[in-house]
Chains A and B, each alone.
Chain A
Amino acid sequence: MAEKLMKYADAVKQFDPVIGLETHVELSTNTKLFCPAHVEFGGEPNSQLTPVSLGLPGSLPVINEAAVDYAIKLGLALHCEIAEWSQFSRKNYFYPDMPRNYQISQYDKPTNGNGYLDVELEDGTIFRVPIERAHIEDDAGKNTHVGGADGRIEGADHSLVDYNRAGVPLIEIVTKPIEGVGDRGPEIAGAYMRTLRDIVRALNISHARMEQGNMRADVNVSLRRNPTDPFGTRSETKNVNSFRGIEKTIQYEIRRQAAILNDGGEILQETRHWDEASQTTAGGRVKSDADDYRYFPDPDLVMLHITKEHIERLAAQMPEMPRERRNRLQGEWGFSDLEMRDVVNADALDLIEATVAAGATAAGAKKWWLGELSREANAKGVSLEELPVTPADVAEVEKLIADGKLNDKLAKQTVSGVLAGEGTPAEVVAKHGYQVVSDDGALVAAVEDAMAANPDVVEKLKAGNMKPMGAIIGAVMRATKGQADAKAVNKIVMEKLHA
């Protein structure tokens, strides 16, 4: 039952999309938000619990200072106002993965409010995304559905609940309605999410791995005919956990809603779900009275007081933000704006920085990550980071080239070997016996053979016409199965000519 869709180009011509993003970032604190249970990905089910995170009768929450500090740092990075007094409230609803059947969150008094994030689009323009709030809350456990097809909730017979994740601190960053996106909604949302991810990583407050669920977003989309109209009814697509998924969700929702509105229909205020397999969003639950969360201040927690001194202490610890860092690196590396944008768009900034740190030149590092390795990643459909090659490997190959031990062709073969799991560059080189022939005996003999076989070329060279040098080098290369160092060949020929 495919839904009717309008062409994207037509949809954004006829309607003005408004986007909202609610992003959950799981903090990488050592312990949970309200109890001293250690947090670790993986691990035996229900082994990372105290009476508090299991919601046992009589247990009480006590807030983790690190989680508060992380939230303030993020607030500072997002130019938020940090509230001197903030408060935790209970959001009441029943669900089997909720140990207390209420979530402890912040409602009318969040720690961070009213900020913004500037994001750079592919063409270099800066778009300012307004931030409504960035509040602290705790996560729920995890349900595994049993008895149905491939672990899906539909048709499952029962569910197994692991509460290890329950109580892990989250920050929810809520944008204000993002207006004026025109046809660039998906791009803006993608750039916002990547920038947010980079900031969170720079602050070292989350592992920020989308695929592990450390970062996930609820995507709100609504359409209106004119930018001056009131906001239209929005759909909320829950828990989208990839950048591509977020971009495609927005595109899909714009097309779907445009088709409905164009036919004179009405948009339901509902929660939807992004289905990666079909690349569509599916309708979920229509908003109803069941969404009456009965928020009230959590009487087990008192007001959170954040002093000016506390904020100043954290402000002094703020690391370089991604944009400043990019500008600095661009200067250090001597890249043009265009080159730098390519690096950023390829998600290769960290990798190139690490490769340079391991001893490679910036140009050398960029050549590999944006060239050979990007092609490989694209072909495999993975990110550069996920390739089985490290910045140290790349730097090592670059060093072998610089030392004249590999030429370009051998270097590529060496990297292929690393990607194929044959070991480090040194191990691949040793295994295949890759070696630039530069020892004089063998090379001189090969050059002499080549010169003897091409007397006409030698004549031209002697006469000062250097163009046909390639013929000699080519012959030497063939003779040495590509292992000759072209520079060395050149040098020997010159010596012979002037002997």
Chain B
Amino acid sequence: MHLGDLARIALTDEEITRLQGELNVIADAINKVQEVAGDDVPPTANPVPLETYMRPDVAETPLTQAEAISGAPVSESGMFVAPRILGEE
């Protein structure tokens, strides 16, 4: 299933079948929103209208290297280890 690739999840065949069924049911339920979403209605991304607070460009103490890599499943010389990377993007 293409969505599994986009979401980077190695779904099993059984999961794909089940999810397809479930998604159809949910999709029917949520399709309803289109009934009232007219062109004249502006979208809301954030429920409380705020404008951005801009932070002064002043440095604060960073994590130490040890703290940064403390959770790494695999690390080497202070760096995170990735298995073989294919392609450039």
- Chain A residues near B (Cβ < 8 Å): 29-31, 36-38, 44-51, 54, 62-68, 87, 93-96, 101, 143-145, 153, 156-163, 238, 271, 273, 284-285, 289-290, 292, 294, 297, 299, 301-305
Residue of A nearest to B86 (CB): A153
Pair A156/B57 contact, Cβ less than 8 Å: no
Q: B: which residues have CB within 8 A of A?
A: 2, 5-6, 8, 45-46, 49-60, 62-65, 68-69, 76-85, 87-89
A29→B77 CA distance, assembly (Å): 28
Residue from the list A65, A292, A302 in contact with B50, Cβ < 8 A: A302
Bound complex: CA of A302 vs CA of B48, how far in Å?
Answer: 9
Q: Is the CB of B85 within 8 A of A153?
A: yes
Whether A38 contacts B55 in the complex (CB less than 8 A), given A162-B79, A285-B89, comes out as: no
Measured in the bound complex, the distance between the Cα atoms of B52 and A68 in whole Å is 11
Q: Do B84 and A157 have beta carbons less than 8 Å apart?
A: yes
Query: Closest Cβ of chain B: how far from A268's Cβ, in Å?
Result: 16
Is the CB–CB distance between B64 and A47 below 8 Å?
A: yes
Q: Which of A51, A63, A285 contacts B55 (CB 8 A)?
A: A63
Query: Which residues of chain A are near B6, meaning CB under 8 Å?
Result: 289-290, 292, 294
Contact residue among A45, A156, A284, A304 (Cβ-Cβ distance under 8 Å from B65)? A45
B58, B69, B84: which contacts A46 (Cβ < 8 A)?
A: B69
Q: Pick the contact of A289 from B2, B51, B52, B65 — CB < 8 Å?
A: B2
Distance of B47 from chain A, by nearest CB (Å):
10
Q: How distant is B83 from chain A, measured CB to nearest CB, in Å?
A: 6
> In the bound complex, do residue A47 and residue B62 qualify as a contact, i.e. CB atoms below 8 Å apart?
yes
The reply to whether A30 and B85 contact each other, CB–CB distance below 8 Å, is no
Give Cα A161–Cα B82 distance, bound, in whole angstroms. 7
B88 partner, pick from A64, A162, A271, A297, beta carbons under 8 A: A271
Residues of B within 8 A of A46 (CB): 65, 68-69, 78-80
A49: contacting residue among B45, B51, B63, B84, CB under 8 A:
B63
19 A–B pairs (Cβ distance < 8 Å), ordered by A: A44-B78, A46-B69, A46-B80, A47-B65, A49-B63, A50-B60, A50-B63, A93-B89, A143-B82, A145-B85, A159-B84, A159-B85, A161-B82, A162-B78, A162-B79, A271-B88, A284-B87, A285-B89, A305-B51
Given contacts A36-B55, A64-B57, A302-B46, contact A160 B81 (CB under 8 A): yes
On whether the beta carbons of A30 and B65 are closer than 8 Å, the reply is no
CA distance A178 to B66 in the complex (A): 49
**B8 vs chain A, min Cβ distance (A):** 5
- In the complex, the 4 A-B pairs of residues with the closest C-beta atoms, listed nearest first: A66-B57, A65-B54, A305-B51, A38-B59
Nearest-CB residue, chain A, relative to B50: A302
Across the interface, do B5 and A290 meet the contact criterion of CB distance under 8 Å? yes
Apart from A238-B88, A284-B87, 6 more pairs, CB < 8 Å? A31-B59, A49-B68, A51-B63, A68-B54, A87-B45, A158-B84
Nearest CB to that of B54 among chain A residues? A65
Contact in complex: B45, A299 (CB < 8 Å): yes
A62 touches B57 (CB 8 A): no
Tell me which of B45, B55, B78 contacts A297 (CB under 8 A).
B45
Within the assembled complex, what's the spacing in Å between the Cα atoms of A46 and B67?
Answer: 9
A95-B59 in contact (CB<8A): no
* Residues of the B chain whose Cβ atoms lie less than 8 Å from the Cβ of A93: 89
Given contacts A63-B54, A161-B82, contact A36 B76 (CB under 8 A): no
Q: In the complex the two chains form, is A160's CB within 8 Å of B88's CB?
A: no
**Given B45, B54, B83, which contacts A158 in the complex, CB threshold below 8 Å?**
B83
Cβ contact within 8 Å between B51 and A156: no
Chain B residues positioned under 8 Å from A95 (CB to CB): 89
In the bound complex, CA of A94 to CA of B89 (Å): 9
Please determine whether A50 and B62 come into contact, CB atoms closer than 8 angstroms. Answer: yes
Q: Are B46 and A37 in contact (CB under 8 A)?
A: no
Partner of B58, one of A31, A67, A96: A31
Give the distance in Å from the alpha carbon of A144 to the alpha carbon of B55 in the complex: 32
Report which of A50, A51, A94, A163 forms a contact with B8, defined as CB distance below 8 A. A94
With A68-B54, A289-B2, A302-B51: A36-B59 Cβ-Cβ less than 8 Å = yes
Taking a contact as CB atoms under 8 Å apart, the answer to whether A45 and B55 are in contact is no
Beyond A30-B57, A49-B68, A64-B57, whether A161 also contacts B79 by CB under 8 A is yes
Name which residue of chain A comes closest to B55, CB basis: A62
Which chain B residues border A153 with CB–CB below 8 Å?
Answer: 85, 88
> A38-B59, A65-B55, A289-B2 are known contacts. Are A160 and B76 too (CB-CB below 8 A)?
yes
| Residue among B52, B60, B88 making CB contact with A36, cutoff 8 Å | B60
| B54 CB contacts on chain A under 8 angstroms | 63-65, 68
Decide: A302 and B84 in contact? CB cutoff 8 A. no
Taking CB atoms, residues of chain B closer than 8 Å to A48 are: 62
CB–CB A63/B52 < 8 A = yes
A299 to B6, CA, bound (A): 20
A161 touches B52 (CB 8 A): no
Of the candidates A37, A66, A67, A301, the one whose C-beta lies within 8 Å of that of B62 is A37
Chain B residues with CB below 8 A from A38, complex form:
59, 62
Residue of chain B at shortest CB distance from A68: B54
- Specify which chain A residues have a CB less than 8 angstroms from the CB of B88 in the assembled complex: 153, 238, 271, 273, 284-285
B71 to chain A, nearest CB (A): 8
In the assembled complex, the Cα of A232 lies from the Cα of B25 at a distance in Å of: 43
